[in-house]
């Protein structure tokens, strides 16, 4: 069982920035990929960004060019830098760790974009 701890959420004004962090209980290089999904109020969970074992990144169209996923090997941490935030980015953001056929999820962190 892999446990994930997310942090960095909060309230920000439109156009602002936040950086989310995700620390797994196991080495990030034990994962085939890690990433972020989000669940807006009243909607289903949706993919946001992913970084593979090899370092390849993928983004949802809605965040490409504004969000950046990265990892710090020394800190065993994956980050989601979110810039130019919009009200429609408001959601609970979940980190995941994929190993084989299994995804492990964090508890989520709330991001609210509002003036």
Q: Enter the tokens of residue 71.
A: 């990892």
SS3 8: coil
pLDDT tens for residues 62-77? 999 999 999 998 999 9
More confident call, 32 vs 6: 6
Calpha distance 79→19 (Å, rounded): 7
SS3 95: strand
pLDDT tens for residues 81-92? 999 999 999 999
Q: Enter the tokens of residue 104.
A: 């492990």
Calpha distance 55→50 (Å, rounded): 9
What percent of the chain shows pLDDT beyond 70? 100
């Amino acid at each position: 069982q892999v446990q994930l701890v997310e942090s960095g959420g909060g309230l920000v004004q439109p156009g602002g920035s936040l950086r989310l962090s995700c620390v797994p209980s196991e080495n990030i290089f034990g994962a085939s990929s890690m990433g972020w999904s989000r669940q807006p109020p009243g909607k289903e969970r949706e993919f946001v960004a992913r970084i593979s074992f090899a370092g390849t990144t993928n983004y949802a169209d809605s965040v490409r060019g504004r969000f950046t996923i990265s990892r710090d090997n020394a800190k065993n941490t994956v980050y989601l830098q979110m810039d130019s935030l919009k009200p429609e980015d408001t959601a609970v953001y979940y980190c995941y760790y994929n190993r084989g056929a299994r995804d492990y999820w964090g508890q989520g962190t709330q991001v609210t974009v509002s003036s």
